Structure 1
Amino acid sequence: MTFFIRLIFCIFILLGWKTSFADVLDNQIHHFISEQLQDKKIDHIGIRYLAAQPDLNCRKPTLKLLSKNKLWGNLTLSAKCKNQTKYIQLYVDVVGSYIVANQAINADTKITEQHITEQSGQLDKLPATIILDKSQIINHIAIRHIDPQEPIKTSMLKRHWQVKAGQQVKVIINGDGYLVATKGKTLANGASGDYIHVKLNTGTIVEGIVSEQGITINQ
Structure 2
Amino acid sequence: MRIATPLLAGLLGLLSLQSHAADLTAQLTQFFKARDPAHAAGMTVVVRTPAEQWPQCDVPSFSLPGNARMWGNISVAANCDQNRRYLQVQVQVTGDYVVAKRQVPRGKALEADDMAIKRGRLDTLPSRAMTSPQQAMDAISMRDIAPGQPLTLTMVRQPWRVKAGQNVVVIAQGDGFSATGEGRVLNNATATQPVRVKMNNGQVVSGKADADGNILISL
51-60 or 16-25, which deviates more: 16-25
Conserved? CA contact 1:131–1:152, under 8 Å: yes
Gaps of 5+ in 2: none
Q: 1:51 to 1:162 in 2, by over 3 A?
A: same
Supply the distance in 2 between the matched residues of 1:200 and 1:87 (Cα, whole angstroms): 56
Supply the distance in 2 between the matched residues of 1:11 and 1:187 (Cα, whole angstroms): 76
SS in 1 for 2:22: helix
Supply the distance in 2 between the matched residues of 1:188 and 1:24 (Cα, whole angstroms): 56
Superposition deviation, residue 85 in structure 1: 0.8
Tell me what 1:211 maps to.
Answer: 211
Conserved? CA contact 1:73–1:93, under 8 Å: yes
Instruction: Report the aligned-residue RMSD.
Output: 4.2
SS in 2 for 1:109: coil
Tell me what 2:111 maps to.
Answer: 112
Tell me what 2:70 maps to.
Answer: 71
121-130 or 79-88, which deviates more: 121-130
Superposition deviation, residue 84 in structure 1: 0.8
Supply the distance in 2 between the matched residues of 1:96 and 1:42 (Cα, whole angstroms): 10
Superposition deviation, residue 195 in structure 1: 6.9
Superposition deviation, residue 43 in structure 1: 5.0
- Over residues 176-201 of structure 1, what are the superposed CA-to-partner deviations in whole Å (9 max), with x where a residue is unaligned? xxx96522455764313557676766
Gaps of 5+ in 1: none
Conserved? CA contact 1:104–1:146, under 8 Å: yes
Supply the distance in 1 between the matched residues of 2:137 and 2:40 (Cα, whole angstroms): 21
Supply the distance in 1 between the matched residues of 2:82 and 2:184 (Cα, whole angstroms): 55
- Over residues 102-137 of structure 1, what are the superposed CA-to-partner deviations in whole Å (9 max), with x where a residue is unaligned? 233222111233422322111233222422243432
Supply the distance in 2 between the matched residues of 1:170 and 1:163 (Cα, whole angstroms): 11
Tell me what 1:33 maps to.
Answer: 32
Asked whether 1:47 is paired with 2:41, we answer no
Conserved? CA contact 1:195–1:210, under 8 Å: no
Supply the distance in 1 between the matched residues of 2:153 and 2:135 (Cα, whole angstroms): 9
SS in 2 for 1:103: coil
TM-score (structure 2 length as normaliser)? 0.71
Q: 1:189 to 1:149 in 2, by over 3 A?
A: same
